[in-house]
Amino acid sequence: MKNLMIGLFISGSVLAQNQTTLEYSYAEFNALENVKDQEAYYEEMRQANPDADYDTYLTALAIANLDDGNTDKYKFYTRSNPEFSAIALINLVYALEHLEDEDENMAVIAEVSQEVIDKIESRDEIDVIANGRLQVLLELNAMANAKLGNVALARKSLEKSSEIVSEFRDSKYFKDSKASYYDRCAIVLAAAGETQRAMDTLVKAVRTGESKPKLRETFAHVYKELKGTDAGCEDLIKELREEAYQHYYDKIKKTYLTDVKIPYEGKINAPNGSGEQLTIFSADKNVYDISIPDLNGNPVNLADHKGEILLIDFWTTMCTPCVACFTAFEKVVEDYKDEPFQLYVINLFELQEDVKSFVRKKGIDLDVLHDEENVAYNVVATPTKIVFDPQGTIRFYNIAYAGSTDGEYYKVKAMIEIIKEHASN
């Protein structure tokens, strides 16, 4: 996976470089936050350089308009059949999932997903990214057709999706991969009249924490269809969620740090099973001695949070699982807004203006700090969370994304609650 992501980053960079002229660049185009500004930039560039290869720009504009629900513009920018790069396929799936979350334009999801499925399947060779996105496109196609009443088509797409061998569905890389799969399966099963199987699928998802808010909406719908009433549904969901949270709590409790002295190195076991320990961050100073600027360049002194539980999460815009955590973080911040708790997401390595643009485009509603030189804790892997008790002592650190919005929420909530329990003893 590591080599794959490095390759993906390089391939994206090469694509951008191939599209660069003396006056224009893909990086500059991509930094524009408004799709209309991007369209104007593209038109000006195309007129200046009419013979250049613009597939990267065309697919980006098509996807941006699709994300806004503008199907006509999507069709306009894909009329020349531009090639979808690996990054473009990832972003296309994001756009379709956004429409799915809004529970609208099912016909659009069905049509666009089928077009891209056909394109991928017509390739002589399907790379690992395209293969993984093909699996999700088939899931989306199945879900949309089920909601449109095309049950036979839905079942066919879901079966094809299950035949694909891909590590991404079970990996904790893309946001809510397994939760979305369970949700879509349940929708197809319910549409096919297999309501009990749909319910069993949803119960398993919520009980294991492989769930998300949208799945719980499906749960309520299927429950009522199965029982003929919604009485007892909320209690069942609550019971299953408590069971999932307890699982995370018990696991997280074992990682509570009891004797941390500065300097301190956070380590994890090497993923290759060699038994080697890898250092993921180095804390050579007390957290209260750290000052990091926000995205406007204003210094934020972490000493201002003495007496509070403090969580700092290190991320980059290119780190997909980093950004996947943010929905859960926003829920945590909302739940603890009246308590002595602070959460910061600290961007590493990237230019301030690029991060500001990304945060605005993605609508990220968190307190973002900017450590371009990585001077705070010399973090070498993202996402990395470090959680401090009210005295500024490191009590937890954790690398990676839980794999689902609910799972990530339970994980962070458990850390906070365990620290609170120790503080009250």
The pLDDT, as a whole number, for residue 104 is 81
Domain containing 377 — which CATH number?
Answer: 3.40.30.10
Question: How confident is residue 127, by pLDDT bands cut at 50, 70 and 90?
Answer: very high
User: Is residue 158 located within the same domain as residue 193?
Assistant: yes
What percent of the chain shows pLDDT beyond 90? 92
CA distance 396 to 163: 39
CA distance 63 to 109: 12
Where a domain ends, among 198, 233, 249? 249
Average pLDDT for 225-231: 98
Q: Which residues pair with 394 in a beta bridge?
A: 388
User: Is residue 314 located within the same domain as residue 280?
Assistant: yes
Where a domain ends, among 195, 230, 249? 249
Average pLDDT for 95-104: 94
Average pLDDT for 372-386: 98
Residues contacting residue 143 through CB under 8 Å, at least 6 positions apart: 100, 109, 154, 183, 184, 187, 188
Using the predicted structure, report yes or no on whether residue 312 has a pLDDT greater than 90. yes
Angle (nearest 5°) at CA 37 between 36 and 38: 90
Using the predicted structure, report yes or no on whether residue 41 has a pLDDT greater than 50. yes
User: Is residue 240 located within the same domain as residue 264?
Assistant: no
User: Is residue 354 located within the same domain as residue 415?
Assistant: yes
Mean pLDDT of the chain: 94
Using the predicted structure, report yes or no on whether residue 319 has a pLDDT greater than 90. yes
User: Is residue 114 located within the same domain as residue 227?
Assistant: yes
User: Is residue 146 located within the same domain as residue 25?
Assistant: yes
Tell me how many domains the chain contains: 2
The pLDDT, as a whole number, for residue 349 is 98
Token code pair at residue 4? 């794959």
Which one is predicted more confidently, 203 or 270? Answer: 203
Where a domain ends, among 194, 220, 249? 249
Using the predicted structure, report yes or no on whether residue 348 has a pLDDT greater than 70. yes
The pLDDT, as a whole number, for residue 22 is 55
At 232-255, the pLDDT tens digits run: 999 999 999 999 999 999 999 999
Residue-range definition of the domain harbouring residue 196: 2-249
Alpha-carbon separation of residue 142 from 98, 152, 392 (angstroms): 16, 9, 49
Using the predicted structure, report yes or no on whether residue 155 has a pLDDT greater than 80. yes
User: Is residue 50 located within the same domain as residue 195?
Assistant: yes
CA distance 63 to 71: 10
User: Is residue 161 located within the same domain as residue 227?
Assistant: yes
Average pLDDT for 142-148: 99
Using the predicted structure, report yes or no on whether residue 19 has a pLDDT greater than 60. no
Question: How confident is residue 94, by pLDDT bands cut at 50, 70 and 90?
Answer: very high
Sign of the dihedral through C-alpha 329, 334, 336, 339: positive
| 380 C-beta neighbours (distance < 10 Å), count | 15
Range list of H helices, 299-404: 320-324, 326-335, 352-362
User: Is residue 338 located within the same domain as residue 210?
Assistant: no
Using the predicted structure, report yes or no on whether residue 7 has a pLDDT greater than 70. no
User: Is residue 189 located within the same domain as residue 110?
Assistant: yes
Residues contacting residue 5 through CB under 8 Å, at least 6 positions apart: none
Judge whether 177 and 403 are in contact, CB under 8 Å: yes
